[in-house]
A and B are shown apart, each in its own frame.
Chain A
Amino acid sequence: MKQIRDFRVKAYDRLNEDNYIIELGCDEELPAIKAGNFAEIQVPQTADVFLRRPFSILDADHKNRSLKFYVKAIGKGTRKLGELAEGTKVNLIFPLGNSFNTDHIRHALIAGGGSGIAPFILLAKELKEKKIKTIFLLGARTREDVFLADEFAKYGEVLITTEDGSLGDKGLITQHSIFSKHDFPYDKIFTCGPDPMMKAVARIAAKKGVNCEASLENMMACGFGACLCCVTETLDGNKCVCTAGPVFDTKYLKWQI
């Protein structure tokens, strides 16, 4: 059940200058939250931000009634959200969107590019609970852009690629050797990140005949299906990323791949 609820800033975890984790707490019990769900956050205390901003739910602590979000500061809203005093009221609409499908998997590959890692902590937890073996492939520009690797390591092997080779393999995520090895044991790929990277991953998945789900980050005005602004082209025509997604089976998307 979707909620509109006031939270309060509990704490920040500053990953580096532009990246942070924000923890928000509330008084009532949290509803059920699934891996892939997101929240529409109303950024307070600024004249520059009119609409809410969507963020994947990084983690949900039902006992402490708090949610965590990983945020990369790229503009007005994401910067302001990183500067609030402890205790500041922040209004959320959540949980929104669909979730990843973890049925019938034996071995999962999670491919997160750049800041596209937020939905994967909850997913990692779900996969672990289901005892599904998981490998994490994190791609970034440089070592400074690799986040949460230690966290993911709790749930499976972590492989890293950086474009400049400063950490892990040098190159793009799709150039990692696991894709060229003869042995490709994964029967499901989950991906999130920049569009070109997700398309490249989807292309590989298609070639290998492996099911692939991508979490999209289109521009949204509402987040709950009212405005029809956030569409992506699918085999069934334009679909709202906020309600039909954000997670899509890549076969269903009309990506030129």
Chain B
Amino acid sequence: MSRGTVSIDVERCKDCDLCVQACPPKVLEMSAEVNEMGYRFPVLHDGCTGCTACQLVCPDYVFQVYRFDVAPDEPHPPGQAAAPDG
């Protein structure tokens, strides 16, 4: 169950891996594909707590962090979370 989620601007990522290391629940993982610059980028799995650790350590400012005040009923699909509206 995710109490939070993130949006990831994959084209800005430079595959430095700092977010993956900093994520307390270890729900970020580097993709297999590469972005336009040839860099891999993070993919979010279920279990995000919205703690903002990834946003704090990202040198390329790719993360926006959201919290669900009430946990959503179904686990959100692995892979990059779509940017929630609003």
| A is bound by B | no
| Chain A interface residues (CB < 8 Å from chain B) | none
